[in-house]
Structures are given as structure tokens and as C-alpha cells.
């Protein structure tokens, strides 16, 4: 039976309660943006921007201009609405495009959790160096292992590398590490919880909807995988890099 038209699609609500799609607190974000040192007149590009919250925060107090690049049309529309609401639509634009094909240089680059769209960690860092002039900086975020993972976690996240391997890619690409920090447990728990929160709320409100059993099963499986397999095991590293 088709769901009533008044009931929203739960799949389209998954980002609704998220500040940004990464394990990152307000204070941690402020520290990273301070280290990124965006200046008046800088060009800032966020590859894999989602709805561009971090990009907007980078640009808003600095007088810089920004471009958010992503393939998620819904996220880009959300970003454009946020830019209008903050009076930043004249300085920040959002472009629906593949990050791998983007070739405009920028003084400051952001690439958070999007190395996969550029071919993986090593290729991404090399490509981002090509887009950044000398004196430029990059805020790069990527999953990593800071200790040997369990066999189950390693199988679940088979493309994730160790922090030492990540740093080898950094140096091989000609970057220098200006800042390194990792997400703490509270940031991870908040990220995982808010990623599910809107769908949990949907389930509470629409438990008799025909889609509810599938949504419930998926959410329960995701929470179980987080708690049993990679909570406190998988890490996320933030690097501010210069060249």
C-alpha cells in the first residue's frame, strides 16, 4: 500500500538533525578554521561540501568568497538556503559537479570525508595540492586507524588506512602539517546519533506506516554495528595542511 502523501520519505530526512556530516563539535570546528586562517579576499572551495555549513562558517567572518561543490542536489539546495538566510549568497555559491572534475584553484580548500571522490587518500591529497597555490592551505578530514582495528572493523572499513599511512600520503604530496587533531568520543557519539535522529523521530511519529518495519530494522542494525564493531575503534583525523 502506498504511503499517504502527507507522510515524508524517511530516507530524505537522515541529515535533518545534523550540523555537518562529520564527527565535529562547534569548538573543534572553530579551532580548525582558526588554523586554516582564511583571509580577506581569499577564495575558499569545499569539495564534497554537502550543505556547506563549515564552508559558510569559514567565509562568514572573513570577507572571503566560497564555492561548495557536491553532487547531492538536496544538500546543495539546503546550502543555498542557509547562505541566503545569513546574507552570504553574494559571496558563496553552490555548484552541482563531480569533485574529481573540479579544476578551479583556491587559496583555501576544504575536503572533509570526501577523499573517495578523488580516488582515495593518496590521490586526493595529490590532486588537492594541484588546486592550491604556494602559500595555500587545506583542511583535510579522513577516517583512519590510530590503533590496530578488530578483524570485523577492518572488514567493514576496508579502505581505511592507519594514521601513519595517512601522514605518509601527506608528505608524499608535498604538504606540511600545520595542525593535527582527532574526533573525541563525544563527537563520534553525537555524529552517529544525529545521523539517525530524524529517522528515529519519524519512526516514533509514523510507526504504523508501511515503511516503518524496514526503517526500524535498518536503524537498529546501524546502532548495533556502531556499538559492537567500531565505537572507540574507528577514528577520524583532521589536518590543516600548508604548502
9 within domain boundaries: no
16 within domain boundaries: no
Strand residues in 16-117 grouped as ranges (E) = 43-47, 65-70, 92-96, 108-112
81 within domain boundaries: yes
144 within domain boundaries: yes
Average pLDDT over residues 132-136: 94
176 within domain boundaries: yes
Q: What is the average pLDDT score of the chain?
A: 95
pLDDT for 5: 53
pLDDT for 8: 82
**pLDDT tens, position by position, 20-53:** 999 999 999 999 999 999 999 999 999 999 999 9
Domain containing 167 equals 24-148+157-184+235-242
Show Cβ contacts of residue 148 under 8 Å, excluding neighbours closer than 6 positions.
none
**pLDDT tens, position by position, 158-200:** 999 999 999 999 999 999 999 999 999 999 999 999 999 999 9
Query: Taking phi first (over 0 means left), then psi (-120 to 50 degrees means alpha), and beta for anything else, what does residue 87 get?
Result: left
222 within domain boundaries: no
Q: What are phi and psi of 47, to 5 degrees?
A: -90, 120
**C-alpha span between 101 and 173 (Å, rounded):** 19
pLDDT > 70 in the chain, percent = 98
225 within domain boundaries: no
226 within domain boundaries: no
The CATH number assigned to the domain holding 117 equals 3.40.50.150
pLDDT for 7: 78
Residue 86 has which C-alpha cell?
Answer: 545569513
Number of domains in the chain: 1
Which three-class secondary structure string do you get for 175-210?
CEEEEEEECCHHHHHHHHHHHHHHHHHHHHHCCCCC
Q: Is the pLDDT of residue 1 over 80?
A: no
Strand residues in 48-160 grouped as ranges (E) = 65-70, 92-96, 108-112, 137-145
Amino acid at each position: 500500500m502506498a504511503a499517504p502523501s502527507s507522510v515524508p520519505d524517511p530516507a530524505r530526512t537522515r541529515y535533518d538533525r545534523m550540523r555537518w556530516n562529520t564527527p565535529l563539535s562547534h569548538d573543534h570546528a572553530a579551532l580548525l578554521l582558526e588554523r586554516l586562517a582564511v583571509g580577506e579576499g581569499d577564495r575558499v572551495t569545499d569539495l564534497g561540501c554537502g550543505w556547506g555549513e563549515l564552508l559558510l562558517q569559514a567565509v562568514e567572518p572573513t570577507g572571503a568568497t566560497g564555492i561548495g561543490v557536491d553532487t547531492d542536489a538536496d544538500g546543495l539546495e539546503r546550502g543555498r538556503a542557509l547562505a541566503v538566510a545569513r546574507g552570504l549568497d553574494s559571496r558563496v555559491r553552490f555548484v552541482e559537479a563531480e569533485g574529481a572534475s573540479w579544476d578551479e584553484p583556491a587559496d583555501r580548500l576544504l575536503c572533509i570525508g570526501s577523499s573517495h571522490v578523488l580516488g582515495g587518500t593518496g590521490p586526493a591529497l595529490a590532486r588537492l595540492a594541484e588546486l592550491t597555490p604556494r602559500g595555500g592551505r587545506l583542511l583535510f578530514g579522513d577516517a583512519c586507524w590510530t590503533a590496530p582495528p578488530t578483524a570485523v572493523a577492518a572488514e567493514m572499513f576496508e579502505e581505511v588506512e592507519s594514521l601513519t599511512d595517512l601522514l605518509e600520503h601527506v608528505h608524499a604530496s608535498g604538504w606540511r602539517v600545520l595542525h593535527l587533531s582527532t574526533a573525541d568520543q563525544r563527537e563520534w557519539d553525537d555524529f552517529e546519533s544525529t545521523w539517525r535522529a530524524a529517522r528515529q523521530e519519524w519512526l516514533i511519529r509514523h510507526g504504523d506506516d508501511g515503511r516503518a518495519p524496514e526503517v526500524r530494522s535498518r536503524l537498529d542494525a546501524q546502532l548495533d554495528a556502531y556499538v559492537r564493531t567500531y565505537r572507540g575503534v574507528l577514528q577520524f583525523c583532521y589536518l590543516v595542511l600548508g604548502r
